[in-house]
Amino acid sequence: MAEVKLYDIEAAAGDGRSLEQENVESTLYFPTDQLAAQGLDPAQVVGIKVRGDSMDGTLADGDWVLVDRSRREPKPEGVFLLLVHGERRIKRVQRVAGGAWLLISDNEHYQPEMIKPEELKDVEILGRCEIRIGRVS
C-alpha cells in the first residue's frame, strides 16, 4: 500500500511554502500497483483539497485531487497545481504564442489569466492534477 498525504490547499494558500512544510490533514492508502497502472509514482503523489468554484465542471469545492509532483511542465496541456505570486491555485495551463501561459478556469464566470514570459519567474508548476476524489451528485 502507498501512503498519500492529504493537504488542505486553503491552509496552504498565500505563503509560498513547500507542501512538505504544511500540516498533513489526513492520509489515504492506495494499492501501489493501482497507482502505477495510472502512471503514477506513489512517492511523487500528494492529495490537495480543492477550495473555491473556479474549476466547477471539473473540480468542485471540497473535492480532493491527487497531484503528480513529478509532472511540472505544461505539456501536454492539463490541470495543474500552481504557485502564482506565492498563492497556490489549480488551473488549466495552456502555452500560447510567444512563450506566455494562459491560466484557465473551467467555470465560465472567471476570465483566463495571461502570464507573460517575463512574469513566468513568479509562477511555478507544483504538479499535474491526475485523479479527482469527490462526491457524486
DSSP line for the chain: -EEEEEEEHHHHTTS---GGGSPP-EEEEE-HHHHHHTT--GGGEEEEE--SSTTTTT--TT-EEEEETT--S--S-EEEEEEETTEEEEEEEEE-GGG-EEEE-SSTTS--EEE-GGGGGGEEEEEEEEEEE----
> Quick one: pLDDT at residue 71?
94
92 touches 106 (CB < 8 A) = yes
Q: What is the pTM of this model?
A: 0.88
> Quick one: pLDDT at residue 37?
93
pLDDT tens, residue order, the chain (137 aa): 999 999 876 655 544 556 766 778 889 999 999 999 999 999 999 999 888 899 999 999 889 999 999 999 988 889 999 999 888 899 999 999 899 999 999 999 999 999 999 999 999 999 999 999 988 87
What domains are there in the chain, each with its CATH number? 2-133 (2.10.109.10)
Q: What is the pLDDT of residues 106-135, one digit of tens each?
A: 999 999 999 999 999 999 999 999 999 988
DSSP-assigned states of every residue in 24-56: P-EEEEE-HHHHHHTT--GGGEEEEE--SSTTT
CB atoms inside a 10 Å sphere around CB 103:
22
> Quick one: pLDDT at residue 127?
95
> Quick one: pLDDT at residue 12?
54
Give the Cα separation of 26 and 4 in Å (integer).
Answer: 9
